[in-house]
Copies of this chain bind each other. A is one copy, B any other.
Amino acid sequence: MSKKRISNEVFQQLLIPSTATLTSALKQLGLSRSFIHGVAPLRPNMKMAGPAFTLRYIPAREDLNAGEVDNMKDVQRIAIEEIGVGEVFVIDARGDTRAGTMGDILATRLFKRGAAGVVTDGAFRDSPAIAEIGIPAFAAAMNAHSNKTVHHPSEIQVPIACGEVAVLPGDIIVGDAEGVVAIPIRLAEEAAQIAVEMEMREKFILKKIQSGASIVGSYPPDESTLAEYKVWKNNNKEG
């Protein structure tokens, strides 16, 4: 896992385009599977970006889950007290929604520790309360059962599957009202640049379409549209 770091400027850039534009930028960079499938925001209006801190669940087994939770041994609990400021907690729950993977107390602790968000391809429990915390949170479902009914926390900071997408520790996780995209750290800066430019161009194209233009010539833009766009972009910058 390269621990390459991303500058604050890049994080700011990653918050500008939509996750849709970011997946297009990643496709241009050769990645076809980056958007986490089947996960929706509890609070659609909150955007999120940060490096992934990963947790992997395996199926529960009675000999692994015995006794009361021990914060020193339970891998999920350790993870929660280790996550860094600005990181996004990403959970591999094998898409199994028959139990929650986190409740409001742990989610609040993540929030207080400065985590940038939390994503699970399983369910949350206390979902209504989690929606109120103020942390961007994304899940596949709501389920009141506590995690160990179905899951056992097994590893942290290893590559995981989340919503049928590979997520490596340190991957940049970006979320918006549509869902969550995982960006390989090495591609993050380039993806940000491409996406910011793409977003601006698509904003211009959208304006043309809103004014009644056909997609022919506009989307994808032909040379004339690209020339118009350059002018518009320069004017916009000046403004």
Query: Which residues of A pack against B, CB within 8 Å?
Result: 18-20, 22-24, 27, 30-35, 37-38, 40, 44, 58-64, 68-69, 71-72, 77, 80-81, 94, 96-98, 100, 103-106, 108-109, 112, 125-129, 141-146, 149, 152, 154-155, 158-161, 164-166, 176-179, 181, 184, 186-187, 202, 205-206, 209-210, 212, 214-217, 219-220
**A239–chain B nearest beta-carbon distance, Å:** 22
- Cα distance A174–B64 in the bound complex, in angstroms: 20
Among A30, A161, A181, A216, max chain B CB count under 10 A is at A161
> Is there an interface contact between B159 and A81, defined as CB atoms closer than 8 Å?
no
Q: A105-B215, A178-B126 are in contact. Are A166 and B142 (CB under 8 A)?
A: no
Q: List 22 A-B contacts (CB under 8 A).
A: A20-B103, A20-B126, A20-B144, A23-B125, A23-B144, A31-B61, A32-B149, A35-B144, A37-B98, A38-B97, A61-B165, A72-B216, A81-B215, A94-B94, A98-B164, A105-B209, A106-B215, A128-B178, A144-B178, A154-B159, A155-B158, A155-B159
Report how many copies the assembly holds: 6
Q: A94-B94, A105-B206 are in contact. Are A71 and B18 (CB under 8 A)?
A: no
Q: Do B108 and A209 have beta carbons less than 8 Å apart?
A: yes
With A105-B215, A109-B215, A209-B108 already in contact, the answer to whether A61 and B184 are too (CB < 8 A) is yes
CB distance from A96 to the nearest CB of B (A): 8
Q: How far is the CA of A72 from the CA of B222 in the complex (A)?
A: 13
